[in-house]
Amino acid sequence: MRGETVEFKDRQLEIIEIVKEHQPITSEHIASFLNLTRSAIRSDLSILTMSGVLTAKPKVGYYYIEQDEKEKIKDVFFNVKVSDIMAIPVVVDAKTSIYDTIVAMFLEDCGTVYVTKEGYLQGVVSRKDLLKICIGGNDTNDTPVGIIMTRMPNIIYMTANEPLIDAVEKIIKHQIDGIPVVEERIIDKQSFLKVIGRVSKTSITKHFYDLYK
């Protein structure tokens, strides 16, 4: 769906006109205007919502999204770079104990800590990763965080020049709270990743709020 123009069928164009005139309007009500059943227009409605022409509020109904508004939102998603919104990453060495990692998470007020070895990205540890090890009754002072982290090559990361839309899509697709932003260093023909930032659900939400303010 990224950015392409969608051509709508006649019935979908009719639905757009009905919604523009009567919004908010329920699917039942739209169907009655067309002398159709609700299920007959279900796929049209999902095409229109997926392509960003209509939006649905539960228990209220469908609204038309002004297309120049949509262009503005698209502009933000495609033109804002990860470097514009990234926050300072919280990083610990893989040898750090689970206990000290939890302390770092509290002190830095973050939900994800990036784990490095000799300064380069090795893994990620989330709140729930830490909760899991704690309820397992392990000695959190004696266990290094490197044991429990999600590790390379399974880490989803980004570089600073990538657009915001890619961060959003990765967060949704992989069901994670955030993504480390890295710079690649080649040493002896091997690739190492230096963590230079983090982009998270919070930094993205904050960016949209700042635009609104």
Binding site for ligand ADP (CB under 6 A): 112, 124-129, 150, 154-156, 175-177, 179
CA-to-CA dists, residue 105 to 119, 126, 154, 162, 189, angstroms:
18, 9, 22, 27, 34
Nearer to ligand ADP, 44 or 129 (CB): 129
Minimum distance of ligand ADP from residue 183's CB (angstroms): 16
Name the E strands within 96-138.
Answer: 112-117, 120-126
SS3 content of the chain, % helix, strand, coil (to 5): 45, 25, 30
Residue 176 · residue 156 · CB < 8 Å: yes
Nearer to ligand ADP, 41 or 125 (CB): 125
Minimum distance of ligand ADP from residue 102's CB (angstroms): 12
| Both structure tokens of 58 | 């539960």
Minimum distance of ligand ADP from residue 185's CB (angstroms): 19
Minimum distance of ligand ADP from residue 130's CB (angstroms): 8
How far is Cα 41 from Cα 34, in angstroms, rounded to an integer? 9
Instruction: Map residue 176 onto helix, strand or coil.
Output: coil
Minimum distance of ligand ADP from residue 208's CB (angstroms): 20
Closest by alpha carbon to 53, among 16, 84, 81?
16
How long a stretch of residues is the chain?
213
